[in-house]
Amino acid sequence: MPEIVMPRLTDSMEEGVILSWLKEDGDEVSIGDELVEIETDKASMVYESDLAGALKILVPEGETRPIGEPIAQVGEPTESSEAPVREADTSGEEGAAPAAKPDWGSNHPEPEDRNRIKASPLARRVAEEKGVDLSSLSGSGPGGRIIKSDVEAAGTDVPPPRKDDEKEPSASRDSGGSASRTEGDVDLARGEPEIVELTRTQQVIARRMTESKATIPHFYLRTLIDMDRAVEVRTAFKAEAAEGEVVPSLNDFVVKATAIALRRHPRANAAFHDEHFELYPRVNVGIAVAAEGALIVPVLRDADHLTLTEISSESRRLAERVRSGEVTPPELSGATFTVSNLGMFGVTGFEAVINPGQAGILSVGEVSERAVVREGQLTSAHQMEVTVACDHRILYGADGAEFLASIKANLEEPGLLA
């Protein structure tokens, strides 16, 4: 019987978690039907069937499988729709048994026992927190899928139900009021800890960041950039923009400046793999977006060929899709370099961790007006601190310095960003 295997939904995906089956055991599925929701290393995504026929689920919800391992089988439609014939009934009497549902074992729940509500994992979490009944909502996502904004629009103030495992503190204490603990347990002075299990995405992020720091020899270069001209150009954009028209942010300027610098410095737009360099012909800039409980990096493809306005529009679109849980595998794949900006949180500077498979990452701090000395006179300027983390196996000190100097030059004279 033809198999559906755990798909590779992102370029760095090694395994996936079955979050929810969107079809039931025995259902007829068609090519293109939304079949299963899978949590990858970057986000949760819906996989559409590439086969047609009767579905046999092999892997239940909540379980993890590596790339390429079968998760379901799809038989010919006749296998579930045609009525079987009793072998002994050849007398011309009624010999056809009534249509029967295939018996694929007791491990798969009956259709009436399964949750048929189509909702993103983020929407489910928000609904649980807010006490929202998903069955009462209409989804605005693809195929009527409930997304985060649908739950938030419900506007309920009902507190979430108390979990069964939330016991009173006294349940774990003896008659003397002290906790019943063995030697070596958590110090009671810190209090009873709340255990928070990591999501699949958080587990993969933790593993990949540990891998990055353990296997990639980072070194860091930082500089201060005079952003006066960039601020002036953005102000002009804003003044000339029609109502509702997109105005590039200063981070859009940074992305464009970085993309141009990557085109001029090919080793920065590359990676070290198995004792050789991989130089990528396309400049695809990943932009770090804070999502609930995770950091997701959608990709601006061919960023060096996009205008500032195009970068601005695409960045906003991708960020919204990340936060709503609707981002797709192609939108998360193929980054050749990453830009991470924490300036909006008042961070002046920081050192980000390189994403494995890239030569570096740019960390961007806030733009602030600071006192400076110019030609012996005290004045002020809009300044921004940036730090580039480099993989020392492919980018050496001078290479990284020249790359960073290009970014600086591009931002200090925004006319170079055309």
Q: Known catalytic residues? A: 392
**Burial of residue 177, with CB atoms counted within 10 A of its CB: 0-12 exposed, 13-18 middle, 19 or more buried:** exposed
What is the distance, to the nearest Å, from the Cα of residue 157 to the centroid of all Cα atoms in its chain? 28
Q: Strand pairing partners for 270? A: 279
Structure tokens at 254: 């940074």
**Cβ atoms of 61 and 19 closer than 8 Å:** yes
**Cβ atoms of 1 and 56 closer than 8 Å:** yes
**Residue 360 neighbours by CB distance under 10 Å:** 31
- What is the DSSP-derived secondary structure letter of residue 140? -
Amino acid found at 54: A
Structure tokens at 376: 């012996």
Amino acid found at 111: P
**Cβ atoms of 271 and 277 closer than 8 Å:** yes
**Residue 356 neighbours by CB distance under 10 Å:** 15
Q: What is d(CA 111, CA 130) in angstroms, rounded to the nearest whole number?
A: 27
Structure tokens at 77: 């439609």
Structure tokens at 357: 């498979």
Computed from CA positions of residues 142, 146, 147, 151, in that sequence, does the dihedral angle turn out positive or negative? Answer: positive
Strands of 245-349 (E only): list them: 270-273, 276-279, 285-287, 289-291, 294-296, 299-300, 337-341
Pairing of strands 70-75, 360-374: unpaired
Structure tokens at 321: 């899709």
**Cβ atoms of 37 and 118 closer than 8 Å:** no
Pairing of strands 15-21, 64-66: antiparallel
Pairing of strands 64-66, 360-374: unpaired
What is the distance, to the nearest Å, from the Cα of residue 35 to the centroid of all Cα atoms in its chain? 20
Query: How many CA within 13 A on the CB side of residue 7?
Result: 17
For residues 272, 278, 284, 287, the Cα torsion angle rounded to the nearest 10 degrees is: -10
The Cα diameter of the chain in Å comes to 111
